[in-house]
Amino acid sequence: MSQSTANRVAEIAADAIAERGSFRIALAGGNTPRGLYRCVAAPSHTSRIDWRRVHVFFGDERCVPLDHADSNYRMANEAMLERVPIPSAQVHPMCHTPQAPEADAKRYAELLAAQIPCTGGIPVFDLILLGLGDDGHTASLFPGTPILQETDKTVAAVHVDKLDSWRVSLTFPVLNQARHLLFLVAGAGKADTVGRVFSPPGAEPFPVQRIEPQGTVEWHLDQAAASQLSTDAS
């Protein structure tokens, strides 16, 4: 799965660079994308991307130091960013002040507005990579949290009670506006949630079901994560 997804990322990057001269991507966090990032950074693959034209952002981040074991930046940096010839000024970590999530969110929103062409005041990413939690969250848009109602800010801080931790995340308006959304989901533990995501939403839709995408949406699933999808769900 990682290899096929890495091929797809390279295609989207090449199209963006050909059409607009740059490729602006927001990376997913968690564990699943690590294999993808390693594939993208493999010598056989990395030459397919013109890294001088790539600008890397994050879809969400845990409010921890950049070298913390839980940092999405650290995961992506070790798996990919430190292995590819991307100018360091073109990599934009989300968390600079772990003890001040709101300040980080404000700073990042200002960075996006300055660095990414906007439509209606919303930065338009070429690609946002996303994972899926077994509770139907994506990025740090967790069920029952105030960030789900955020429609003005493009980046917001959110306290996730069940994790007892602060996160900073892109909000729905930014996800909706992206040219391409690509979900990467793996493992049997996600099969039930994936099956429910592709079923009619219940009274309380999952956060991931509340995205109203203007661009394309792709789901890259391994067999285990897709095991509860019926064949006509393609």
Instruction: Give the nearest distance from C-beta 19 to ligand 6PG in angstroms.
Output: 28
- Is residue 207 a contact point for ligand 6PG (CB under 6 A)? no
Rounded to an integer, what distance in angstroms lies between the CA atom of residue 94 and that of residue 147? 17
Per CB under 6 A, does 32 bind ligand 6PG? yes
Q: Transcribe 22-86 into DSSP letters.
A: -EEEEE--SSTHHHHHHHHHSHHHHTTS-GGGEEEEESEEESS-TTSTT-HHHHHHHHTGGGS--
Contact range with ligand 6PG by CB under 6 A, out of 30-38, 97-105, 112-120, 146-154: 30-38
| Among 35, 55, 41, 126, residue whose Cα is nearest residue 83 | 41
Q: Minimal distance in Å, beta carbon 206 to ligand 6PG? A: 12
Q: Which amino acid, one-letter code, is at 120?
A: G
Q: Using CA atoms, how far apart are residues 108 and 67, in angstroms rounded to an integer?
A: 19
Verify binding: residue 193, ligand 6PG, rule CB under 6 A.
Answer: no
Closest approach, Cβ 189 to ligand 6PG, in A, equals 8
| 31 binds ligand 6PG per the rule CB under 6 A | yes
**Which residue ranges make up the site for ligand 6PG (CB under 6 A)?**
28-32, 60, 72, 131-133, 137-139
